[in-house]
Amino acid sequence: MQSNRGRDTKPELMLRRELHRRGVRYRLHPKDVVGRPDLVVRTLRVAVFVDGDFWHGNRWRLRGLARLEEDFHNNREFWVAKIRRNVQRDEEVNARLAESGWTVLRMWESEVLRDVTAVADRVQEAIHAARGTNRV
């Protein structure tokens, strides 16, 4: 687990390059924002997370399994509890940011790898919507 990257993953770098190419400017992993989002447009209060499918509970869906538990054959209790806690923490972070007026976007790594332009479009739409409400 220690060797798994928490930042600068391939999907995150792909999204950052695409947004930068489009002229979107952002900050990376700010320590003072709850949950330390991968990308932040601070003035518009837009936070973007690029979540790993395995660590944030999406891999079992991608594999066509009926339940998260089916994804693990060894040490099932540990892994299911760990993944469920990650998902719960994501929901808590989303709620705290939303309460503070942030727009929160969570993207799956598989989405970014499949079609980075579509994901970048969603981020830009959120930024444009935030500009319309928070004229900065």
Q: State the pLDDT confidence band at 4, using cuts at 50, 70 and 90.
A: low
Q: In which band, very low, low, confident or very high, does the pLDDT at 136 lie, cut at 50, 70 and 90?
A: very low
Q: Give the relative orientation of helices 10-21 and 116-133 as an angle to the nearest 10 degrees.
A: 60
Whether the model pTM is above 0.85: yes
Q: Are 42 and 126 in contact (CB under 8 A)?
A: no
Q: Which two tokens stand for residue 58?
A: 């999406």
* CATH (one of 3.40.50.1950, 3.40.960.10, 3.30.450.30, 3.30.450.20) for 10-129: 3.40.960.10
- Distance (Å, rounded) from C-alpha 32 to C-alpha 93? 13
Q: Which residue has the tokens 């930068």?
A: 20
pLDDT tens per residue across span 65-104: 888 999 899 999 999 999 999 999 999 999 999 999 999 9
Each domain of the chain, given as residue ranges in start order, spans: 10-129
